[in-house]
Structure 1
Amino acid sequence: MSRLPSVFVSHGAPTLPIDPSMPSAEFTSLGNTLPRPRAILMLSAHWGTAQPVASTAERPETIHDFYGFPRALYEIRYPSPGAPELAKRAVALLAAQGIPAATADHGLDHGAWVPMLLMYPDAGVPIAQLSIQPNLDAAHHFRIGRALRDLRDDGVMIVGSGQITHNLRMADFGARPEDADPRVSEFTDWFESRMAERDIGALLDYRARAPHAALMHPTDEHLLPVFSALGAASDEYRLGIQSLGTFQRALAMTNYIFTDD
């Protein structure tokens, strides 16, 4: 199997699988377009710990870590197998680069199972989840990706799941895609141009350099997974962009694929 891409998905609201106004079909299309991995190492914005923790769960629980949504959403189960050996290998690779890490039995939060349910509806791809560190910076998460990039040679797809813009205080849940705040595209245009140019230094310093950075991300956790996907990419990666629009006025749903040239 050739080296797999690394991927960042903007997973949107938990209702993505059941809301016909959301771009669920496009996630299915993405899953059909990508080479099918032997396993996935998933970094989601919704599992944060002080240091990296990899889940060794053999049958990860479907975690419904949200409140106030339709009952049908809580009845969804995503019964993918776990990947405990991948989790242990990830911990060993991190340790080899001086990054302390641990293992735990942890399920899949909605940042993990929601996009996977759409991309791999047969639940046949084993998944190990790796936590992010919300109190550490972009450079730390880029370094994590770098430590793990060789997993891609073994049929592992490294997936970061968050949101390219994420400010719920700006959100208007009655807004149409055409009602997007123009500052959203100013931020995403800057971010995508830096990614296309492979300007890693600027990206890691996005808080100081990107337009409206603090407005688009009052806190970092939904953007941190993209830096691990970037770190796992080849030095001369080719950027693929799947732009699905901006929802609720402020939440851009764009997916990024980093492939080898």
Structure 2
Amino acid sequence: MPSAVVPDRPLPVYFIGHAGVGLLFRESPHNRIVQDNLRAVGEEIRAISPRPKAILTFSGHFEAGEIHGPGVIEVNVKKGTYIMHDFVNDFHDSAPFVYEYDWPHQDAPELATEVWRHLTKSGIKAKRVERGVDHGVWVPFKLMFPTETPLDVPVVQVSTFYGYDLESQIRLGEAVASLRVSFQRHSTEGYLIVASGMAVHSFPSIAEIRDAPSNETRELARQKVLKESRDFDAHLRAAVAKRDAAERREALLQLESLPEFRRSHPTVEHFTPLLVAAGAAGDAEDVVPLGVDVVEPGMSYLNVRFA
């Protein structure tokens, strides 16, 4: 666990598996492991010194709007951001208390504008928008930075690109990589990049298990989906682990050709934050999966630190 950052070296980059709001209240052995994994990542981030000026987040639930078309990034510059209860499921009957959840945090519109300017100077088309904090950020951060040990730096939210151009997401990460540098002797802090998504995220695969017509076919479907999820997770871990940026880029982009890719990511918005993180990491001295591995049929909760 890094307790300090060497002056004039970039801050680390994190990718976290964020899960859904059920992570906060459902009791299961896997949930407890995912919770503990995220708490440990939060402790690690709180130990970084000197402190970053802000956490720069990329979430699987903040993809640039289709209205802008491909090739445009959105940067949230709203002051006083609200918590978005943007859940896939309707919990009003089954768990209405989730709509009372909150996560106190700091905003920094001036830093968001700084990031927006940096993107535009880097040749990326960027729009300033005003939105809330999606559950891809506040659900894991609620565990990582609870009320008793809150996050002491602001959060700046940046979208991923809209669409299926995976290489563009890596270029986005490369564009923000220089924001990681912390110049201690000049009293200039860098941004800590935390990308939040899922290594495997497939509701259709989960539905295939749920909708099987018998217990026997349901178990067969579960075993098939679990194997697909584990196989893709293993390929992904091998690609991410490469320290050379060019080799990592090539290995990650090759994942799209695997038969398990579309099964594991029928839509790509939960995969693209990992590509942003990998691009922002550049050549890394160390790439470390964090915590205990959790792979379920249709879901993988991989956490990674690039340093």
Among 163, 186, 197, the alignment partner of 1:162 is 197
Code of the residue aligned with 1:240 in structure 2: it is: V
Among 288, 294, 299, the alignment partner of 1:245 is 294
User: 2: distance between equivalents of 1:123 and 1:33?
Assistant: 12
Partner residue, 2:230: 185
1:30 partnered with 2:41: yes
User: 1: distance between equivalents of 2:82 and 2:299?
Assistant: 27
Can you give the 5+ residue segments of structure 2 that lack an aligned partner in the other structure? 182-188, 211-217
Partner residue, 1:93: 118
1:232 partnered with 2:280: yes
TM superposition shift of 1:16: 1.3
Code of the residue aligned with 2:193 in structure 1: it is: I
Among 48, 64, 68, the alignment partner of 2:63 is 48
RMSD after superposition: 2.2
Alignment of 1:208-223 (within 5 A): 208=257, 210-223=258-271
Among 129, 133, 142, the alignment partner of 2:170 is 142
- How many residues are aligned here? 255
Partner residue, 2:78: 57
Code of the residue aligned with 2:201 in structure 1: it is: H
Partner residue, 2:144: 119
TM superposition shift of 1:123: 4.3
User: 1: distance between equivalents of 2:190 and 2:81?
Assistant: 20
Partner residue, 2:90: 68
User: 2: distance between equivalents of 1:228 and 1:8?
Assistant: 9
Partner residue, 1:131: 159
Stretches (4+) displaced over 3 A = 172-175
TM-score computed with the length of structure 1 as normaliser: 0.90
Partner residue, 2:17: 10
The structure carrying a bigger helix percent of its residues is 2
Code of the residue aligned with 1:39 in structure 2: it is: A
Q: Percent identity?
A: 29
Larger gyration radius, structure 1 or structure 2? 2
TM superposition shift of 1:106: 1.4
Is the 1:59–1:79 Cα contact (8 Å) retained in structure 2? no
Is the 1:163–1:253 Cα contact (8 Å) retained in structure 2? yes
Among 100, 103, 119, the alignment partner of 1:78 is 103
Q: Could you tell which deviates more after superposition, 65-74 or 155-164?
A: 65-74
TM superposition shift of 1:146: 0.8
TM-score computed with the length of structure 2 as normaliser: 0.77
